[in-house]
Amino acid sequence: MRILNLVPVGRVDRAQLTVLAGGLASHLGVACSIHPDGFDPGFAYNPLRGQYHSTEILKGLVRDTPAESWRVLGVTEHDLYIPILTFVFGEAQLEARGALVSLHRLRQEFYGLPADPQLLAQRLLKESIHELGHTLGLRHCADYLCAMSPSHAVERIDIKLAEFCPACVGAMAVL
């Protein structure tokens, strides 16, 4: 059975993870198990940038995940970066097991707007499906409604759907 390990990275609201698990189960048809303890990302903190190095966290996550689990998806409240970019919403290993998403810039509050829990849950689901898509070997897609369309700004996440377009579904079948 395909089991997706959902791992809180640092402190993350359980209810948020439960909603996400439900969404992933219905959209991707996978069972999710939420890790009880979580993963401490302290080692990946960069005090100069005030952000966490996403690639380092991803490596640690994959290392600590049992070999038999199908995929691991870390979810964090921290702001993530890779050295060359100012930030990332998430990161994934292409055609491998690990993916990571951050709630930090998905929150309306980050942009000075009132909190919107429903919108946040939607964004988290779309970003999670997007990063998991990379672990399944998918690259970015030109169809702006597809979950695999590039989203370098939160507005683009809101436009797209929590689903893969037929071309990406086809590409996945080949992979």
Give residues in contact with other proteins (CB under 8 A). 55, 81-88, 92, 94, 134, 139-142, 150, 152-153
DSSP 153-164: SHHHHHHS-SS-
131 given a catalytic annotation? yes
Alpha-carbon torsion (70, 65, 85, 106), positive or negative: positive
Indicate the Cα dihedral angle 131, 168, 108, 85, nearest 10°.
Answer: 50
Pairing of strands 51-53, 80-81: parallel
Q: Which residues pair with 74 in a beta bridge?
A: 7, 100
Nearer to other proteins, 32 or 135 (CB): 135
Say if residues 160 and 151 touch (Cβ distance below 8 Å): yes
Closest contact distance (angstroms) between CB of 66 and other proteins is 25
Q: CB-wise, 31 or 94, nearer to other proteins? A: 94
Distance between CA atoms of 23 and 5, rounded to whole angstroms? 14
Report the nearest approach of other proteins to the CB of residue 165 (Å).
12
Of residues 19 and 72, the one with the C-beta less far from other proteins? 72
Smallest separation, CB 31 to other proteins (Å): 26
Catalytic residue among 56, 131, 155, 163: 131
Residue 174: CB minimum distance to other proteins, A: 14
By C-beta, is 153 or 159 nearer to other proteins? 153
Q: Which residues are catalytic?
A: 131
